[in-house]
Chain A
Amino acid sequence: MKTNDLIFQTVTKTAVFIIIIYSLHLFFSGHYTPGGGFIGGLMTASAIVLLLLAFDIKTVVNSLNIDYIKMTATGLLIALLTGVGSFFFDVPFLTHTFSYVDLPVLGKTSLATAVLFDLGVYLVVIGVTMTIIQTIGETE
């Protein structure tokens, strides 16, 4: 049966970018306002789920071309390495630090190493969610 998804696919093409930008905003604003790696990862995963709903699973897997299990492993490795990095400065495991840096456009910005740990959480959440959904979607 030939179905016509023109309106839904056009809406999806514009809405996915808005959802991904919103998830990045949630990810980067997690230190001072509500948000963080967990909810940001879930919103990115929901953007990919919207793509999966609008198009078929084969198209999305071929065009994104991401191995979500390797993504989960990379996230876990990043979270572990931020903890290991504290050993080089003779401080306890998982000690985080921050400093104020003058960036060219943003001005005086506080860069914290906690955002690297959060990046690991973000990748793990996307990887686990998409692994679950794609595995269930592909089974007969």
Chain B
Amino acid sequence: MIQGILICSLIFLSFAIFATIYRLVKGPTAPDRVQALDALGINLISGVAIFSVLLRSTGFFEVILLIGILSFIGTIAFARYIERGVVIERNHSD
């Protein structure tokens, strides 16, 4: 019963991931692609969570927090590059 529900939600999640991949490939501008990558990371987090319930293992809980942090930092780096043209600023005044 529970296993069926989990597999069903994994299938729906893979539909969501395919939708974000469509936006990633098709997206006319760079911000569309960055936002699609961010959504892809969040979908991957939920996929890993459902897998760790399915496999009855607590070994993947570190991966969940790790993907969250890395997706946050990556999205911010892309956003800074799009807005300012530089990822790490040398000095705030100039």
Which residues on A sit within 8 Å (CB–CB) of B62? 26, 33-35, 39
| Contact partners of B77 in chain A: CB under 8 A | 53
**Cross-interface CB contact of B73 among A53, A57, A137, cutoff 8 Å:** A53
Q: Chain B: residues with CB nearer than 8 A to chain A? A: 59, 62, 65-66, 69-70, 72-73, 76-77, 80, 84, 87-92
> Complex Cα distance A22/B62, Å?
9
**Contacting residues, chain A, for B92 (C-beta < 8 A):** 55-56, 59
**A74 in the interface, Cβ–Cβ < 8 Å?**
no
* Contact among B59, B65, B89, B91 with A22 in the assembled complex (CB-CB below 8 Å): B65
* Residues of chain A whose beta carbon lies under 8 Å from any beta carbon of chain B: 3, 8, 15, 19, 22, 26, 33-35, 39, 43, 46, 49-50, 52-53, 55-59, 133, 137-138
Give the secondary structure class of A's interface.
helix
Tell me the bound Cα distance from A35 to B66 in angstroms: 11
What are 20 A-B pairs with beta-carbon distances under 8 A?
A3-B84, A19-B69, A22-B65, A22-B69, A33-B59, A39-B66, A43-B69, A46-B70, A49-B73, A53-B76, A53-B77, A53-B87, A53-B88, A56-B89, A57-B89, A57-B90, A58-B90, A59-B92, A137-B88, A137-B90
Interchain CA distance A78-B83 in the complex, whole Å: 43
Residue of B nearest to A29 (CB): B62
With contacts A26-B62, A34-B59, A34-B62 taken as known, whether A57 is within 8 angstroms of B70 at the C-beta atoms is no
Query: Smallest CB-CB separation from A137: which chain B residue?
Result: B88
Residue contact A58 to B91, C-beta cutoff 8 Å: yes
